[in-house]
Amino acid sequence: MCAQIGSEPFFPEPGRTPAEAKRICQSCEGRIECLEYALTHDERYGVWGGLSEEERRSLKRAS
């Protein structure tokens, strides 16, 4: 799904909210796989699987 949308919502500029990307991710069938990819490959920027950079860091610290 995100391939048709482009990367802009998933990499918001500093000070902008990732809300649009998170909304898109909520209805995506590949959300879990996307998040797993980001965690496995240490993606540090953007929204992946519905989580922001900070949310992924928190998730990794908790595990």
pLDDT in tens, 25-44: 999 999 999 999 999 999 99
24 is in an annotated binding site: no
- State the Cα torsion 59-49-8-60 to the nearest 10°: 20
39 is in an annotated binding site: no
pLDDT at 5: 87
Please report, as a single letter, which amino acid is at residue 50: G
The chain-wide mean pLDDT, for the chain, equals 93
pLDDT at 63: 80
26 is in an annotated binding site: no
28 is in an annotated binding site: yes
| H helix and E strand count, the chain | 4, 0
The Cα diameter of the chain in Å comes to 33
pLDDT at 1: 60
